[in-house]
Amino acid sequence: MVAIIDYGAGNLQSVKKALDFIGAKSIITADENEINAASHIILPGVGSFGDAMHSIKEKGLEDVIKKSADGSKHFLGICLGLQLLFESSEESPGVDGLGIFKGKIVTIPKDNGLKVPHIGWNSVSLKQTDGIFEGLRDNSYFYFVHSYYLKDADEDVVAGTTEYGVPIQCAVRQGRVCATQFHPEKSSEAGLTILRNFVNRED
């Protein structure tokens, strides 16, 4: 069973529809017991870093998310769900993230001639080709919607990068804990491959 954590962010239904499409059983939930009982956890997210962390704490979900992302379960963060795994973001100064990984969430520069937010398809250079990335061709295209991005993460956990005026670390993976800045559920067959790999992992 896949638990999609509901902390008040958008994009929950599109993630569930993608899981339904590939035949994976899933539930949208904010119930700690249901999250603990699930073998696979997805932390989605669309919106503000600060608002999301406030909602996570208000709903009493911070501890169960950290526990779910401690490496004991299969965990996938999507978009804002990736950013929340880090310590802080320029979007919300003074707000602590979940601190699962070290790295900076910073603003996409607005002086490079490109539109911000970044909305659209970008190719991803894969640094890892196993786990949830197994079977993907390097430089496959994925769908992005974001104004902030990951920078200076530990190279050992960076699984994919892209370019949008600046180099962007857009996927991370350490053991069973993975996250993508792009939206697998909106990324056609390449995205569905990631979701299939995720839900089928039992190691």
What's 125's domain CATH number?
Answer: 3.40.50.880
pTM (predicted TM-score): 0.97
**% of the chain beyond a pLDDT of 70:** 100
Query: Structurally, how many domains does the chain consist of?
Result: 1
Burial of 63 (0-12, 13-18, 19+ CB in 10 A): exposed
Domain that holds residue 101: 2-200
Tell me the longest C-alpha to C-alpha distance in the chain. Answer: 47
For residue 124, pLDDT over 90 is answered with yes
| Per-residue pLDDT, 113 | 84
Residue range 78-95, pLDDT digits in tens? 999 999 999 999 999 999
For residue 50, pLDDT over 80 is answered with yes
Report the catalytic residues.
Answer: 79, 183, 185
Q: What is the mean pLDDT of the chain?
A: 96
Average pLDDT rounded to a whole number, residues 101-115: 93
| Per-residue pLDDT, 203 | 82
In 3D, which of 182, 179, 174 has the Cα closest to residue 157? Answer: 174
| Per-residue pLDDT, 30 | 97
Query: How is the chain split among helix, strand and coil, in percent rounded to 5?
Result: 30, 30, 40
